[in-house]
Amino acid sequence: MKGLLWFLFLLFLDVAIPYGVLSDYGRITGAFIFWTVWGAIAVASIFFMTRRWGEER
């Protein structure tokens, strides 16, 4: 359940930041920094969510 909430939070940020916060920002650097940081967080999240995949409980 915690993973689903984190996914929904990342999805919300995926839409809200570029189309809301950065919509009035005229330079590409804001979007580039956002997507770089967001991508790193998404990759790290997948790593932490799947690191124990297949282990017996």
**The pLDDT value given to residue 5:** 92
C-beta atoms surrounding 54 within 10 Å: 5
Give the start-to-end residue ranges of the domains of the chain: 2-50
* Of residues 32, 34, 30, 29, the one with CA closest to residue 14: 34
The confidence score (pLDDT) of residue 32 equals 87
- What confidence score (pLDDT) does residue 8 get? 93
**What tens digit of pLDDT does each residue of 19-57 get?**
888 888 778 888 888 899 999 999 999 998 888 888 766
Task: Give residue 35's identity as a one-letter amino acid code.
Answer: W
pLDDT of residue 57: 64
Looking at 1-57, list the stretches that DSSP marks H as alpha helix, in order from N- to C-terminal side: 2-19, 28-50
- Residue 54 φ/ψ region, left for φ over 0, alpha for ψ in the -120 to 50 degree band, beta for the rest: left
Q: Give me the pLDDT at residue 44, please.
A: 94
